[in-house]
Chains A and B, each alone.
Chain A
Amino acid sequence: MDRAKLFAPFEGTRDPRPLAIVRIAFFTGLLLHFAPSLIWLEVGYGRGAVRVDAWNHWLFSHLSHTPPALVRVLAIVTLLALVAAIVGIRPRIAAIVAGLGCYAFASFNSIHLQTLALVPAWAILMLWMICGGGANAYAPRASGEREPSLLPSLILFQILLAVWFSGFEKLLAGWPWSNEMGIVLAYPHGFMVRDWVAAFPLLHGPVVSTLLTWGTLAVELGTPVLLLVRRTRLAALVVYELFFLGIIAMLEVPPLFYFIFASVPLLALDDSQLRQLTDVRSRVRRWVPRRRAS
């Protein structure tokens, strides 16, 4: 097989806007995720705080001996790096500082930081540290130049792989025959589900929960593949976005989870598809004032 063709998705350049959107969404998610722990520092990182070891054991053991003033400085530096990444100031350096800071604090004490929400975040941070980029649009010194494809393509691969394997794990766990969504939707008010879900009787019947169980499997196993095929991409993107919108509307999950999984598929869009979307947006913009005037 032709090597150039094999590596084509990871080489060349592409429109800078989708990666800039992912940069803003991802680092905003990280900021929302870590800021409460890093601002109310003494609750999770003070002397005598209840701590849980979920990431790096060496850091877990040793960071507790760090002077509180130094911990405070590290927290401030981490938060500033996250803000710099969102704004688009030196995103690679910001990703290195923010990534090391977030990993150190998550290792110091993982309680309160929802371990599974961080798994894809570490992958994206590592890629950003290695590849850099993402500041050619929506940034103070944005050049508007096209971005190298390496970073966006690897981030897209990583997230679509995670979604597909989530579906595969579900198959191995006995879905769809176990009607697992029936269990999730049966959770009482105050545990995982949003209040409207706990109070909405239609969602608690076996028919709806079975449909949602099958639908979840279909989306998780289907859309990662269909997003890679040009002809089915836009339809798959709509289904995929509705699915993750549904998750955050029904379940109490961290915004970081939604910001990662909802923004990254935009990286699958090629130049002409982005133009199509931009055309739709400008048509809507033209249509709205006309409606208002009439």
Chain B
Amino acid sequence: MNRLVIRRIFIVVWIVLALAGALAHTVAERAVGHTIDLGLPNLQYGYVMFNANPKRVPVYTYAHADGERHDLADLDPRPALGYKRARVALDAMFSATYLRDLCNRALTSRDDQITIYVDGYQVDVDREHPAMSTTEVCGGPR
């Protein structure tokens, strides 16, 4: 087979796979009740941008013993240009143990104590005031 034919086969295969990957997460989910994994990483999650957005969302802050609240993103040493708070919020939403890990890493001394505040907003009801609030404490005098 010459190069032209191989190239054309590659083009067709790539286009068909890309379309199949898109359909495997849209039409297939409705037709067969679940998505189809086509193996390739670029086809693993379909093509999604903010199609379904949560109505209950958390806002994370923290305070040391002095009680002054700061943005939780300040605890993570890794910079994130322009999306630091969103990154920390999504990390915390997707991993149950992330908050505790972040908190423990940020302790500066044996007696240091950090309280993480999680304010949950039901945005379709009231976007100004949290519907629920919880705290998580790490560290403190032992």
Binding site for B on A (CB under 8 A): 3, 7, 10-11, 32, 36-37, 39-40, 43-44, 49-50, 52, 55-56, 103, 111-112, 114-116, 118-120, 122-123, 126-127, 130, 150, 154, 157-158, 161-163, 165-166, 168-170, 172-173, 175, 180, 183-184, 186-192, 204, 220, 248, 251-255
On B, residues with C-beta under 8 Å from A are 7-8, 10-11, 14-15, 18-19, 22, 25-26, 30, 40-42, 44-53, 55, 57-61, 71, 76-87, 89-91, 94-95, 97-98, 101, 105, 119, 121, 123-124, 127-128
Q: Give Cα A251 to B60, complex, Å.
A: 17
B47 touches A165 (CB 8 A): yes
Query: Quick one: given A119-B42, A166-B49, are A43 and B105 in contact (CB under 8 Å)?
Result: yes
**B11/A7 in contact, CB under 8 A:** yes
Nearest chain B CB to A123's CB is how many angstroms away?
4
Instruction: List the A side residues contacting B84 at CB < 8 Å.
Output: 252
Is A183 a contact of B53 with CB atoms below 8 Å?
Answer: yes
Known: A122-B41, A157-B18, A166-B51. A204 touches B91 (CB 8 A): no
Q: Tell me the bound Cα distance from A172 to B119 in angstroms.
A: 31
Among residues of B, the one whose C-beta sits closest to the C-beta of A51 is: B95
Query: Hey, which chain A residues are within 8 Å of B76, CB to CB?
Result: 43
| Residues of the B chain whose Cβ atoms lie less than 8 Å from the Cβ of A43 | 76-78, 105
Q: Is the CB of B53 within 8 A of A40?
A: no
List residues of chain B with CB within 8 A of the CB of A168: 22, 26
Inter-subunit contact B10/A252 (CB<8 Å): no
Contacting residue for B44 out of A3, A55, A184, A187, CB 8 A:
A55
Cβ of B94: which chain A residues have Cβ within 8 Å of it? 52, 111
Determine the chain B residues whose CB is within 8 A of the CB of A163 once the complex forms.
Answer: 47
29 pairs across A/B with beta carbons < 8 Å? A7-B11, A36-B79, A50-B97, A52-B94, A111-B94, A114-B90, A116-B48, A119-B41, A119-B46, A122-B40, A123-B42, A130-B10, A157-B15, A169-B47, A169-B48, A169-B51, A175-B51, A184-B50, A188-B123, A189-B59, A190-B89, A191-B85, A191-B86, A252-B85, A252-B86, A252-B87, A253-B83, A254-B83, A254-B87
- The minimal Cβ–Cβ distance linking B107 to chain A, given in whole angstroms, is 14
Please give, as numbers and ranges, the residues of chain B lying within 8 Å of A32 by CB-CB distance: 81
Complex Cα spacing A36 to B57, Å: 26
Q: Which of B22, B79, B83 contacts A252 (CB 8 A)?
A: B83
When the two chains form the complex, which single residue of B47, B61, B77, B124 contacts A166, counting CB atoms closer than 8 Å? B47
A115, B8: Cα distance in complex, Å: 31
* A7 contacts B127, C-beta separation under 8 Å: no
Distance between Cα atoms of A183 and B121 in the complex (Å): 11
- Contact (Cβ within 8 A) B80 A50: no
Pairs A-B, 9 closest by C-beta atoms: A252-B86, A123-B42, A36-B78, A190-B59, A252-B83, A162-B47, A165-B47, A122-B42, A186-B123
Contact between B82 and A248, CB atoms less than 8 A apart: yes
State in angstroms the CA–CA spacing of A165 and B45 once bound together. Answer: 12
**In the complex the two chains form, is B71's CB within 8 Å of A186's CB?**
no
Contact A150–B11 (Cβ < 8 Å): yes
Contact of A103 among B22, B41, B81, B128 (CB under 8 A): B41
B52 cross-chain contacts in A, Cβ below 8 A:
173, 180
Contact A111 B98 (CB under 8 A): yes
B59 and A112 within 8 A (CB): no
Task: Please report the C-alpha to C-alpha distance between residue A40 and residue B26 in the assembled complex, in whole angstroms.
Answer: 37
Q: Across the interface, do A180 and B53 meet the contact criterion of CB distance under 8 Å?
A: yes
A189–B90 CA distance with the chains assembled, in angstroms: 15
Chain A minimum-CB-distance residue to B93:
A191
Closest to A120 in B: B42
Which chain A residues border B119 with CB–CB below 8 Å? Answer: 188
Contact A112 B78 (CB under 8 A): yes
Residues of B within 8 A of A150 (CB): 7, 11
A133 to B94, CA, bound (A): 37
Shortest Cβ distance from B94 into A: residue: A52
With beta carbons under 8 angstroms apart, the residue of B57, B80, B81 that contacts A191 is: B57
**Which residues of B lie under 8 Å from residue A154 when comparing CB positions?**
11, 14
